Amino acid sequence: MPLALYALTAGAFGIGVTEFVIMGLLLDVGADLGVSTSAAGFLISGYAIGVVVGAPLLTILTSRWPRKTVLLALMAIFIAGNVACALAPTYGLLMAARVLTAFAHGTFFGVGSVVATKLVPADKRASAIALMFTGLTVANILGVPLGTWLGQAAGWRATFWAVAIVGILATVVIAWAVPRDGRPEAADDWRADLKALGRRPVLLGLLTTVLGYAGVFAVFTYIAPLLTGITGFGEAAISPILLLFGGGLVAGNLLGGRLADRALVPAMIGSLIALFVVLVLMGPALQGTVTALVAVTLLGAAAFATVPPLQMWVLSKADGAGESLASSFNIAAFNLGNAVGAFAGGLVIDSGPGLGYVTWTAALFPLAALAVALTAVRLDRAATRRPPGKTIRLLPIGFALLRRSYRREGDRI
More confident call, 130 vs 357: 357
3-state DSSP of the chain: CCHHHHHHHHHHHHHHHHHHHHHHCHHHHHHHHCCCHHHHHHHHHHHHHHHHHHHHHHHHHCCCCCHHHHHHHHHHHHHHHHHHHHHCCCHHHHHHHHHHHHHHHHHHHHHHHHHHHHCCCHHHHHHHHHHHHHHHHHHHHHHHHHHHHHHHHHCHHHHHHHHHHHHHHHHHHHHHHCCCCCCCCCCCCHHHHHHHCCCHHHHHHHHHHHHHHHHHHHHHCCHHHHHHHHHCCCHHHHHHHHHHHHHHHHHHHHHHHHHHHHCHHHHHHHHHHHHHHHHHHHHHHCCCHHHHHHHHHHHHHHHHHCHHHHHHHHHHHHCCCCHHHHHHHHHHHHHHHHHHHHHHHHHHHHCCCCHHHHHHHHHHHHHHHHHHHHHHHHHHHHHHHCCCCCCCCCCCHHHHHHCHHHCCCCCCC
Q: Would the pLDDT of 393 be above 60?
A: no
- Residue 234 is given by DSSP the state -
Q: In this structure, is residue 400 part of a structural domain?
A: yes
Q: Note whether residue 215 is domain-resident.
A: yes
Mean pLDDT of 265-287: 90
| 207-233 per-position pLDDT tens digit | 888 898 889 888 888 888 888 888 888
Residue 60 counted as domain residue: yes
Q: Would the pLDDT of 399 be above 50? A: no
15 lies in a domain? yes
Whole-number pLDDT of residue 293:
92
**150: which residues sit within 8 A by CB, 6+ positions away?**
158, 159, 162
Residue 112 has pLDDT above 50, yes or no: yes
Highest average pLDDT, of 34-38, 100-104, 199-203, 378-382, comes from: 100-104
Lowest mean per-residue pLDDT among 82-86, 196-200, 370-374? 196-200
Q: Which domain holds residue 79?
A: 3-406
Domain-located, residue 412:
no
- The confidence score (pLDDT) of residue 193 equals 64
- Determine the average pLDDT of the residues in 41-55: 79
Choice among 88-102, 154-168, 204-218, 379-393 with the minimum mean pLDDT: 379-393
Question: What string of DSSP letters covers 101-164?
Answer: HHHHHHHHHHHHHHHHHHTS-GGGHHHHHHHHHHHHHHIIIIIHHHHHHHHHHH-HHHHHHHHH
187-197 pLDDT, tens digit each: 445 566 666 67
Q: Out of 85-89, 260-264, 323-327, 369-373, which region has the weakest mean confidence (pLDDT)?
A: 323-327
The answer to whether the beta carbons of residues 242 and 140 sit under 8 Å apart is yes
Domain membership of residue 253 (yes or no) is: yes
Spatial CA neighbour of 411 closest among 315, 325, 317 = 317
The per-residue pLDDT for 389 is 44
Q: Which pLDDT score is estimated for 322?
A: 61
User: 110-119, 146-155, 290-299, 368-377: lowest mean pLDDT where?
Assistant: 110-119
For residue 207, give the CATH number of its domain.
Answer: 1.20.1250.20
Query: What is the model's pTM?
Result: 0.69
CA 270 to chain centre: 19
For range 279-296, the mean pLDDT: 91
Please return the burial class of 385, using the count of CB atoms within 10 Å of its CB with bins 0-12, 13-18 and 19+: exposed
Could you tell me if residue 413 is inside a domain? no
Average pLDDT estimate for 324-348: 80
**How many domains would you assign to the chain?**
1
- Residue 54: inside a domain, yes or no? yes
pLDDT band per the 50, 70, 90 thresholds, residue 273: very high
C-alpha to C-alpha distances, 369 to 30, 210, 272, 327, nearest whole angstrom: 32, 8, 7, 18
Give Cα 401 distance to the centre of its chain.
29
Question: Mean pLDDT across the stretch 250-255?
Answer: 83
Cα 84 to Cα 156: distance, rounded to the nearest angstrom: 13
Lowest mean pLDDT among 1-10, 24-33, 195-204: 195-204
